[in-house]
Amino acid sequence: MSMRIAFLFLFGSLLLSDSPRTTAEYKKIQHSLQQGWNTWNTRSVTQYVLLPQGFSINIAFKQHYFLEENYLREVLIGRRSDNAEYVRPGAHTLNGSYTSLGLKWEEVDTKISSAHIDDDLVILISPNSIPKNRVKVILETGMLWNRKGTLHRDKNSLTARTPGKLVKVYTTSSIVDNDPYLDINTPYISVWFNGEIGISTGKPRSLDEIKIAIRAQKKILDQEADKFGTLADAYIAIQAGIAWNLIYEPKHDRVVSTVGRLWNEEYGGYCLFGWDNFFLSYVTSLFSKDLAYSNIIDHLHGKTEGGFIPNDNRGNGSKSFDRSQPPVGSIMVKEIYKAYPSEWFLSAAFDDLLDWNRWWKTERDNEGLLSYGSSPAYNPFHEPVFGTKTAAGYESGMDDSPMYEGVPYNKDKKTLELQDVGLNSLYISDCKALAEMAGILGRDDEKDELLERAENFSSNMNKLWNDEIGIFLNYRTDLDAFSERLSPTIFYPLLAEIAPKQKSVRILDYFYDTSKFYGKWMLPSTSRDDPSFKKQRYWKGAIWPPLNFLTYLSLRKAKHYGASTELSEKSLHLFLEEWFRKGFVSENYSSISGTGDASNLSSDRFHSWGTLFGIMSFMEKGYLPRTETSLIEP
């Protein structure tokens, strides 16, 4: 790369370091979040880590056979490789005060639960069956992330000495002789897996004491959930869907929500996705103001030197320097602010969101409306899709949607030859949400700029209205013609409030049309009469959380309350059916069977944005502010 580009890249990175993450408010939030025992390490859901010390207790299993031995050190949800462990997630509080999961691997079939007793941790390993061949449970110790501390094994316990804190670890089981062939470099305890095993920190505790503590923390969670009445089960499931993927991320010293540990593993320790993490920030607002605030600030911290939120922001240092994802950030920040009004929070988010808003107009204008694309950019990791149609599909968030089939990518424009109804509607909504924030912050010039931009794009959207069939349609700029491949993005103009009442009612007809989107399991990501619908693979017919969620917001904004209620109820049913059946919070679901593990799907088994299917009901019942309400200006 040229010296000038290298300088700009370095200078931009330095500018990004001076961010809301340096403020006293953010540091106070992170200090509060980084406390106590939890499944903080992204590498395993059976590793319990104490923050801020970084001391870890990892539960591993050694399977003994006649001729061979297998070792399971790191346990993750949703692996599909041969002989992989199978995890059925259960309840998990955000702070780790109670966790529960089922684990099957080789001859291991067990439940593992944990709980807090004040500052101490207790763990219960309860086998559903005793293995035919012998299995050892290994309690490994570790000091993670180069934190200071020493580890020691006594005859009947493990000890960690860290600055200002000493932690001792005990087990209720008889300790067996050390296995000299274990590939472990730190002190450990091994016990036979031939019955229930209790583990406790602080002092020795009996199995009964450990069980009482676990039942007590489960009762606290149940009582907290019961406050939401008929949504109690959903409250527990949504919290688990977020908490199992909540990690401590050492590179930037933060507790942060992620979509999934498998993605974190693949991408070098963590991955924050362009629109996913704005949705996760909003969902966490049901449980924690602090986590919602910090999730937004941490996500915005990943803004590129080009001024936009990247499609991917990865732990290995790479980003999608050429592309973004749908502009939902201001919409979600507005909703979080409505739940927890704080001018500091708005101020912390506003400038990054404004930069991103301006970027869309500069980089993705295609004859007066926006199209998805990919910009020429610094590409230090040699990602092969830069400047291609594939990258433009990734920017849409709907990678292989039938809407983009046959649509060419114009390298001169840097965009697809498709003026996108969904993108332009979200962008107008983004402008309006930002304008409301600007009003609260006294940024009058920016408010006027944003409202003018919203008005201009709303006016230009008129060309996308097809009066013959009664909806806004994507427009092929290469053919000067409408494209009739449909997805639920046809409902987003309702969110942008650019459809007068008559048009709004005609758009609603498509919601109830059984040949388009209506059915027992909804909303399919392409219309039911589309030739690709039967594939159900990825964005060809499967039900995706963000499409249902954004459609729900759109319906409420247009006051189509009957439809919004039905969508929230059907989405909740879809979500809870899978949770009760498998413990999954899936990336997407079949619109034919309603399951997240159908053979023709391409769907992660545990992907935190699946919680969007449940969160709508909490808006519906008024536990979170409804989207049709505006910010209150002083």
pLDDT, tens digit, 9 for 90 and up, residues 315-337:
999 999 999 999 999 999 999 99
Instruction: Write down the residue that tokens 């404004």 correspond to.
Output: 354
User: What percent of the chain clears pLDDT 90, i.e. is strictly above it?
Assistant: 93
Q: What is the mean pLDDT of residues 407-433?
A: 98
Q: How many angstroms separate the CA atoms of 391 and 375, rounded? A: 9
Q: How confident is the model at residue 634 (pLDDT cuts 50, 70, 90)?
A: very low
pLDDT the model gives residue 16? 43
Residue 178 has pLDDT above 80, yes or no: no
Read off the pTM.
Answer: 0.95
pLDDT the model gives residue 51? 98
| Residue 543 near residue 534 (C-beta atoms within 8 A) | no
Is domain 229-620 annotated with CATH 1.50.10.10? yes
Element (H, E) at 24: helix 24-33
Q: How confident is the model at residue 183 (pLDDT cuts 50, 70, 90)?
A: confident
pLDDT the model gives residue 18? 62
Residue 125 has pLDDT above 70, yes or no: yes
pLDDT the model gives residue 571? 98
pLDDT the model gives residue 88? 98
pLDDT the model gives residue 182? 87
Q: What is the mean pLDDT of residues 140-149?
A: 97
| Residue 135 near residue 63 (C-beta atoms within 8 A) | yes
Q: How many angstroms separate the CA atoms of 81 and 318, rounded? A: 26
Residue 179 has pLDDT above 90, yes or no: no
SS3 151: strand
Q: Where do the domains of the chain lie?
A: 40-226, 229-620
Cross-strand pairs, 418: 476
Q: Which residues of 430-463 are buried (b: 16+ CB within 10 A; e: fewer)?
A: bbbbbbbbbbbbebeebbebbbebbeebbebbee
Q: Using CB atoms within 10 Å of the CB of residue 358, give its burial: 0 to 12 exposed, 13 to 18 middle, 19+ buried.
A: middle
Residue 233 is which amino acid? D
Q: How confident is the model at residue 258 (pLDDT cuts 50, 70, 90)?
A: very high
Calculate the average pLDDT of the chain: 95
Q: What is the mean pLDDT of residues 123-145?
A: 97
More confident residue, 521 or 177: 521
Which tens digits make up the pLDDT trace of 1-45?
343 444 344 444 434 446 899 999 999 999 999 999 999 999 999
Q: Which residues contact 25 (CB under 8 A, 6 or more apart)?
A: 344, 348
Q: Which residues contact 81 (CB under 8 A, 6 or more apart)?
A: none
Residue 309 has pLDDT above 90, yes or no: yes
Residue 449 has pLDDT above 60, yes or no: yes
Q: What is the mean pLDDT of residues 90-111?
A: 98
Q: How many angstroms separate the CA atoms of 397 and 47, rounded? A: 32
Q: Which residues of 120-149 are buried (b: 16+ CB within 10 A; e: fewer)?
A: bbbbbbbbeeebeeebbbbbbbbbbbebeb
pLDDT the model gives residue 323? 98
Quote the distance between the C-alpha of residue 476 and its chain's center. Answer: 32
Torsion region of 378: left, alpha or beta (phi above 0 gives left; psi -120 to 50 gives alpha): beta
Written as six digits, the tokens of 19 are: 């961010």
Q: How many angstroms separate the CA atoms of 451 and 438, rounded? A: 10
CA atoms within 13 A of residue 126's CA, in its CB half-sphere: 14
Which tens digits make up the pLDDT trace of 194-204?
999 999 999 99
Which tens digits make up the pLDDT trace of 583-626?
999 999 999 999 999 999 999 999 999 999 999 999 999 999 99
Residue 185 has pLDDT above 80, yes or no: yes
